[in-house]
Copies of this chain bind each other. A is one copy, B any other.
Amino acid sequence: MTYKLWYWPGIQGRGEFVRLAMEAAGIAYQDCARERGADALVALMHEMTGRTPYAPPFLDTGEMVIAQTANILLYLGERHDLIPPAPADRYWLHQVQLTIADMVAETHNVHHPIAGSRYYEEQKEPAKAYAEQFREERMPGFLGYFEAATRANEGDWLIGDRWTPADTSLFQLVAGLREMFPRRMHTLEKAMPGLIALHDRVAAGLPGIKAYLDSDRRIAFNADGIFRHYPKLDGT
């Protein structure tokens, strides 16, 4: 059957990491809440029993429902041979994927340092303080780690000689941080040539991604998603 992806319809969000891997691999999927609306997603979550997701995104494979972005990507990687079979390679890629998830969570905290359920406008002051340490400490730390990860392989990709979901995820992370912190990224990118080359390779070198980014399936960055451009939170 065609996979059913469930995620909030108006944003890229965490769902985008799943979409990108499926688009790159040419895996067919229905983006259910974009077709049926957010209410259908909420209603479904209320109806589900047993092994339920805590939050979107989740993927209905027909045999099971899998939640947690990195877990969905692990499933797709194993099921569709997108990742190498050697255990050491699998755990390494999953480690990188989970570290991407950590950075994404902290990126969301930048504009929601107090409560995810309240508006940014209600937490602008702590957001300013959070953003400062994020720009100064966390961005160099995480991005330096991902830069080093690109150098741990001699090939063009994070591992071996082909892309994996961790590569498409790093593309999205770089694209999102450029959207959210254009000034800061302008400074930091000088020290991360491997990561930028990887970003460019995913954007231009994978036919599935190129077609996706040009399509209306790619939701534009916007002020409801994780990677939001608030100029006051950016800085060199």
Residues of A that sit less than 8 Å from B by CB: 50-54, 63-64, 66-68, 70-71, 74-75, 78, 87-88, 91-92, 94-95, 98-99, 101-102, 105, 109, 113-115, 117-118, 126, 129-130, 133, 137, 141-142, 145, 148-149, 152
CB-defined contacts of A52 to chain B, threshold 8 Å: 145, 148, 152
The residue of chain B having its C-beta at the shortest distance from the C-beta of A50 within the complex is B152
Partner of A126, one of B87, B114, B117, B149: B114
User: Contact at A95–B53, with CB atoms within 8 Å?
Assistant: yes
User: Contact at B92–A152, with CB atoms within 8 Å?
Assistant: no
Write the nearest CB–CB distance from A170 to chain B, whole angstroms.
Answer: 13
CB-defined contacts of A152 to chain B, threshold 8 Å: 50-52
Partner of A54, one of B99, B117, B133: B99
User: Contact at A142–B54, with CB atoms within 8 Å?
Assistant: yes
Copies in the complex: 2
Assembly CA distance A67 to B66 (angstroms): 23
| Given A52-B148, A102-B105, A152-B51: A95 in contact with B66 (beta carbons within 8 A) | yes
Assembly CA distance A95 to B95 (angstroms): 15
User: Contact at A92–B64, with CB atoms within 8 Å?
Assistant: yes
User: Contact at B130–A115, with CB atoms within 8 Å?
Assistant: yes
User: Contact at A126–B105, with CB atoms within 8 Å?
Assistant: no
| Given A117-B133, A137-B115: A71 in contact with B95 (beta carbons within 8 A) | yes
Assembly CA distance A91 to B94 (angstroms): 13
| Given A63-B88, A142-B54: A68 in contact with B98 (beta carbons within 8 A) | yes
| Given A113-B130, A115-B137: A68 in contact with B53 (beta carbons within 8 A) | no
User: Contact at A68–B94, with CB atoms within 8 Å?
Assistant: yes
CB-defined contacts of A148 to chain B, threshold 8 Å: 52
Write the nearest CB–CB distance from A46 to chain B, whole angstroms.
Answer: 12
CB-defined contacts of A87 to chain B, threshold 8 Å: 64, 75, 78
